[in-house]
């Protein structure tokens, strides 16, 4: 699924001649000590099954005019955009710091964001006006309920790998 998502997103951005924005999820790790934090963070971003991570993707891939699916619907979105609703990206609001960086490099085909964007998406076959225009809703980063996953960490000194039971909550824009 991850490679397919990358391929689909890159082809779509190329077809529409739009910049493909990337944003890595923020995993709030709750039960790991500092010496393992970086390794655990990296391992969490490699989990391909979104059902394990609260239906939030490890990496957001997004561009204008992109066909997307909403993977999580919070109370604000539920009435207009339940889970698995499809939509088209109409506007991407970048964090001011990312906007300045992008304006300096706007010719880049792929741009890595440091902050979660807000996406204005037009829901397929919905003309309800939410105040942003017919069928348009704002999709912002959400945090899932904490999940637990077992991760195997390699020992730096060549000993047997350690198995850690990690508790974390992922924060990400719920679009694929």
Is the Cβ–Cβ distance between 21 and 60 less than 8 Å?
yes
Instruction: Supply the pLDDT for residue 66.
Output: 98
Out of 29-33, 45-49, 83-87, least confident range: 45-49
Q: Which of 151, 166, 76 is nearest to 118 (CA)?
A: 76
Tell whether the model's pLDDT for residue 82 goes beyond 80.
no
Output b/e per residue, 61-72; b: 16+ Cβ within 10 A. Answer: bbbbebebebbb
Global pTM value? 0.87
Tell whether the model's pLDDT for residue 73 goes beyond 80.
no
Is the Cβ–Cβ distance between 58 and 175 less than 8 Å?
no
Instruction: List, for residues 122-168, the tens digit of each pLDDT value.
Output: 998 888 888 999 999 999 999 988 999 999 998 777 778 889 999 99
By the 10 Å C-beta count (0-12 exposed, 13-18 middle, 19+ buried), 45 is classed as middle
Percentage of the chain with pLDDT > 90? 61
Q: Please tell me the distance from the alpha carbon of residue 119 to that of residue 91, in angstroms, as a whole number.
A: 6
């Amino acid at each position: 699924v991850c490679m397919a998502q990358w391929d689909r997103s890159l082809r779509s951005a190329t077809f529409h001649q739009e910049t493909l924005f990337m944003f890595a999820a923020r995993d709030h790790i709750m039960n790991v000590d500092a010496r393992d934090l970086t390794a655990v963070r990296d391992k969490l971003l490699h989990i391909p099954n979104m059902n394990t991570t609260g239906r939030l993707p490890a990496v957001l891939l997004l561009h204008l005019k992109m066909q997307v699916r909403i993977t999580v619907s919070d109370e604000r979105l539920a009435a207009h955009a339940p889970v698995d609703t499809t939509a088209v990206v109409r506007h991407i609001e970048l964090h001011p710091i990312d906007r300045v960086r992008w304006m300096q490099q706007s010719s880049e085909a792929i741009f890595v964001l440091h902050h979660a964007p807000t996406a204005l998406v037009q829901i397929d076959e919905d003309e309800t006006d939410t105040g942003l225009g017919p069928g348009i809703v704002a999709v912002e980063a959400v945090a899932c309920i904490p999940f637990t996953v077992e991760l195997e960490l390699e020992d730096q000194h060549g000993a047997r790998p350690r198995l850690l039971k990690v508790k974390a909550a992922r924060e990400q824009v719920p679009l694929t």
